[in-house]
Structures are given as structure tokens and as C-alpha cells.
Structure 1
Amino acid sequence: MRTAIAGLDVHVSHDDVVGRDVLLWHHGSPQTGAILPPVQAAADARGLAVVSVARPAYALSPRVPGRTVADVAVGLRPVLEALGVASVVSVGASGGGPHALASAAVMPGLVRRVVTFASPAPFDGTEEWFAGMQAPQALRAAAEGEVARRRFAEIDEFDPDSFVDADYAALRGEWASLGADVGASAEFGDDGLIDDDLAFARPWGFDLADVTASVLLVQGERDRVIPPRHARLLSEALPDAALQTHPGDGHVSVLRHLAAAL
């Protein structure tokens, strides 16, 4: 089911999720917010309904200029209240990771658990933050501000070396829907991706110390998009976090561990 709630483009796996435990899926950058089949399958196997919300400026969700990571989480509260869900497992992949954490900080009574896959850590203003990224140019531009990030968007092209063989295998197999959804997001323009990058490169609007829910950080050791150091930084800063690394995985293939993580 797809509907508009609190002005946002919302996807729900079941017509009625009142009183249910849900997997709140925070999509990567860029995507449309559609519920991907492997996410649905992993949730179904564990009796969870799925709620996925397109962040502002993605798909049919209107843009919120200057939004922070925390702003997005605050915007999700009325969605979950309107749906009447009982509890939330907040799960974020890549650019969805910070938003999964923010949801736990903003809604501590509702979000019981958090799982992130290849999430960036808060920007600390150092050169080390970019270390290990195959193509950090977009985030470097975002750190300079919106004008620089929009200027870079005019010449931005995907670097195929950002993914390892395992990532391409995942995109040909179980996670083919992710690649298709990234392609589908293109018709809505670059604003969502640009605003995500800007949000990652500025203060997130909450402290990691405020995330009291238990957090599982899942990270591929071969990730060239968000390097493993980011997961270690998150693990050190979060009050209740476990770090799970996978030596053979990159940025996309690490998602094959979703079912086990749940």
C-alpha cells in the first residue's frame, strides 16, 4: 500500500499495521522509498510489517531545504502515530543509517532496536573521515556547502570501482531490485541525494549518546563507499552497540545479512 501521511510518500506492506511490530526501513541515497522484495521477505519471516518512507525531496515527498538528519526522524513520528504501530525496529542502509539512528534518538519509547548497514559516521571535519572512499567528491563538495554540492552534481558520474565483485553479484541476484529502484529515483531529480549529502556533512541534530536502543552495526570490510572506519567510530560513540563485520562484503553485498541481523 502506498499513501500520503503527514505530507510524506509512505509505503506500507499491509493495509492495517495498527498494534503491529514493524521494520521501519530507511532507504539509501538515492532511492524512491519503495519496499524492496528482500526487505519484505526478511520482515515476513520474522512477523514484522514494513513501513518505508521516502525522505523529503525523494519520490513524492516534498523538499525541506536545510533539513538535518534529526529533522527527518521528527517527521516520521506523525507517520508512525497515524499508522498506530506498536514498536519499531529501525533499519537503515548506507544513507539510511544515520536516519535509523536518529529515529531511535527522537522516538526512544517506540524504537526498540536499530540495525545499520554501511552507515556513515558523523562528519568530524577531518581528512580521515574521507579516507578509504573510492569517490568522496560528492561528500567533499557537500562539506563546502550547497552551492558546491549542486555544482558537483552537474558533472557527477558513478565510479564503477566503488563496488567490489561481491556488490555486483548482489545487484545481479537477490538485490537486483535495489539497483532498479536507484534507477527509478532518477526521474525525481537530484534534490534528495544532494540534501542527504548536505545533512551528513553538517551536525546531525542529535547526539549518538542519546541513542539508548540497542544497535547492531553491520559492515563490509571491503566497502569502498563507506569504509569500515565509520562503523568503528559509530561503535565507539553509541552507548549500546555491537559491531558485526564481514570480510568478503562491500557496500551492497553486506545487505545479504539482513535476515540474520533481524
Structure 2
Amino acid sequence: MTEVGLPDGRTLEYVTVGPADGVPLVLHHGTPSAAVVFEPWAEAAAKHGFRLVMYSRPGYAGSSPRPGRTVADAAGDVAAVLDALGAGRFVTVGWSGGGPHALACARLLPDRCGAAALIAGVGPYGVTGLDFLSGMGTENLEEFGAALEGEAALTSYLNEQGPAFATAQAAALGAALGDLVSGIDRAQLTGEFADYLAESFRAALRSGIGGWRDDDLAFVTGWGFGLGDGRVPVAVWQGGEDRMVPYAHGRWLAEHVAGAEAHLSPEEGHLSLVVGGFEGIVADLARLAG
């Protein structure tokens, strides 16, 4: 793990895996999560000539908090990490809560970002044509309900939920995720992926619930950028059996992100899409980036 210092005094932790001369593939982790590498993803990136780069968003793990951050702020943080690596052009992937942050990079760093892929990415709140909460599992209904009440309510809710994730073990993930996992997703909670997911939860909560809280608040307020600039190609990947980020989110993004390519799979879930489909998504990203 490496740290980069920022002009405002914060630090960000990041990790890189793969060919040193490879184009960076910046992978934005989900919510809650951190810069923990899942080896099959690094291998898929390297297979297509990319160097996997992950950083922990502010407030997660070893990255300094940034209360009040917006989704748009991710672009500046990514630029700082890339500058520290001496890298110019990059591509980006965002899974789940990472989706909006990958889109921010595509929209706000168009001279550097070659392409973006959103995998089960969260859509914006309060927009016409998207019922944000519809189809979510019980836990997400409670979590985002608290987020919509404000910071104090959300902090209280996450303080209650946090310990189960801060001490997560692979064998107990099904119970911890509860109503958020459909049948196809529950089947993914085994072996190497379950170990990775539990480790990422533990890392995310190492410094408390600040990063998780600030992610949620950023999702339900203005993202800080528009969706209409189509200079950077974007692919939207979404499964119909997703109870964390419902199918309607992906469909809405595919219809409203300028020039987006839609890959909507009714039979896939939130986890199955990224476990079984990541290499194909990276191959498609390479195609989009030219």
C-alpha cells in the first residue's frame, strides 16, 4: 500500500498491481469497501495490458476523511493518484457505489480518461424516471432512508450496522448481507471471492464509518457534474437479479448517460455480474478505449 499527499493536507492510500508500463485501470470500489485487490481482477486487467490501480475513497481505511465530499470530488483524487504514478491516460471501472465515481472521472477528466465501465452502478437520486429505492433489499431501504433523513440519522444507523462489517468473516457474509442478496448472488459467497469481500469490509471500517456515511450522503445529493458530455465512451452493465442496486438504476443510466452502451442482463445479480463477467467487461473496456 502506498500513500499520496494532497495539497489540502489529506492523504490517500492506493495500490497498484500489474505491468508497470500498462495503462492504468482505475477500479472504484463499492460501498463500503477499500483498496483491497481481488487477484482475478488484477489478472484480467493484466491480460488486456492494463495495470490495476485502486485507492480507498476518503474516510475509508487509511485515506483521510473529507466530510461533505461530492461524487465529483473523486476526479481530483484520481488525478492526484495518477500524477503520483507518472501516468497520463487511463481507463476506469466502478462497481456498485464506485459506479458514480467512475462516471465522474469520465465526465471531468475527458482528456485523460479513455473509457469507463459502470458495473451495477448506483443511479442519481431524485431524477425523473428513476424510483431510487424501488426493488432494494430491506437493509438498503433502511440505510438510504436514514441517509435521506440526514447525516445524524445515517451516522446513528451505520454505527449500529458497522461492527458486523468491521469484523466480517467469509462464512458469515450471507447472514450479514441478508435481504440484499438474491439467490444467484448468495451462490457467489464462497471461496476466494467471499474471502476478498470479507477482507474489503474489514479494511473499509478500520477507521470507522466515515467513508461509508460520506458515500451514502454523496449518492443522495447532487453529484456535481452532468451526464450529457459523451466525449468519453461509457458502458453500463447491470443485472436484473440485483437487490443492492436494482435493475432500474442500470436501465436509467443506459438511457441518460450520453452515448452509453447498455449491457443489461436480466439473469445476473449484483455479485454474479462482477464475479463471472469481469474479464469480459475489461475486454470491452479495452475495445472502447481503442
TM over 0.5, shorter chain:
yes
Check the 8 A contact 1:38/1:174 in 2, yes or no: no
Amino acid at match of 2:273: V
Greater mean alpha carbon deviation, residues 231-240 or residues 190-199? 231-240
Q: C-alpha distance in 1, partners of 2:31/2:106?
A: 20
Check the 8 A contact 2:15/2:54 in 1, yes or no: yes
Q: C-alpha distance in 2, partners of 1:239/1:57?
A: 31
**1:165 maps to which of 171, 183, 206:** 183
Greater mean alpha carbon deviation, residues 204-213 or residues 218-227? 204-213
The offset of 1:15, in angstroms, is 8.2
**2:103 maps to which of 101, 104, 112:** 101
Matched position secondary structure for 1:23 = strand
The offset of 1:211, in angstroms, is 4.9
Matched position secondary structure for 1:128 = coil
Check the 8 A contact 1:235/1:242 in 2, yes or no: yes
**1:134 maps to which of 107, 132, 137:** 137
Alignment of 1:11 with 2:15, yes or no, is yes
The offset of 1:161, in angstroms, is 1.9
Partner of 1:110: 112
Matched position secondary structure for 2:223 = coil
Amino acid at match of 2:189: L
Matched position secondary structure for 2:144 = helix
CA deviation profile, 1:114-150 (whole Å, cap 9, x unmatched):
1111111111168821101113111121122111211
Amino acid at match of 1:108: P
Greater mean alpha carbon deviation, residues 21-30 or residues 72-81? 72-81
The within-5 A match list for 1:169-184 is 169-176=187-194, 177-184=196-203
1:53–1:159 distance in 2 versus 1, CA, 3 Å: closer
Alignment of 1:260 with 2:280, yes or no, is yes
The offset of 1:159, in angstroms, is 4.6
Check the 8 A contact 2:240/2:269 in 1, yes or no: yes
Please, what TM-score do these two structures have when normalized by structure 1? Answer: 0.92
Cα RMSD for the two superposed structures: 1.9
Amino acid at match of 2:146: A
Q: C-alpha distance in 1, partners of 2:58/2:238?
A: 26
Check the 8 A contact 1:108/1:211 in 2, yes or no: no
The offset of 1:243, in angstroms, is 1.3
The offset of 1:166, in angstroms, is 2.0
Identical-residue share of aligned pairs (%):
36
CA deviation profile, 1:169-196 (whole Å, cap 9, x unmatched):
2221452212332233333211111110
Amino acid at match of 2:204: S
Amino acid at match of 1:197: D
**1:148 maps to which of 130, 145, 153:** 153
Post-superposition, which runs of at least 4 consecutive aligned residues in structure 1 deviate over 3 A? 14-17, 154-159
Check the 8 A contact 2:18/2:50 in 1, yes or no: no
Check the 8 A contact 2:125/2:221 in 1, yes or no: yes
The offset of 1:5, in angstroms, is 1.2
Greater mean alpha carbon deviation, residues 134-143 or residues 221-230? 134-143
For structure 1, which runs of at least 5 residues remain unmatched after alignment?
Answer: none
Alignment of 1:237 with 2:256, yes or no, is yes
1:246–1:64 distance in 2 versus 1, CA, 3 Å: same
Greater mean alpha carbon deviation, residues 217-226 or residues 157-166? 157-166
Q: How many residues align?
A: 259
Q: C-alpha distance in 2, partners of 1:10/1:211?
A: 28
Check the 8 A contact 2:18/2:51 in 1, yes or no: yes
Check the 8 A contact 1:95/1:196 in 2, yes or no: yes
The offset of 1:13, in angstroms, is 1.1
Greater mean alpha carbon deviation, residues 93-102 or residues 156-165? 156-165
Q: C-alpha distance in 2, partners of 1:179/1:129?
A: 27
Greater mean alpha carbon deviation, residues 230-239 or residues 80-89? 80-89
1:188–1:211 distance in 2 versus 1, CA, 3 Å: farther
Greater mean alpha carbon deviation, residues 155-164 or residues 186-195? 155-164
Check the 8 A contact 1:38/1:175 in 2, yes or no: no
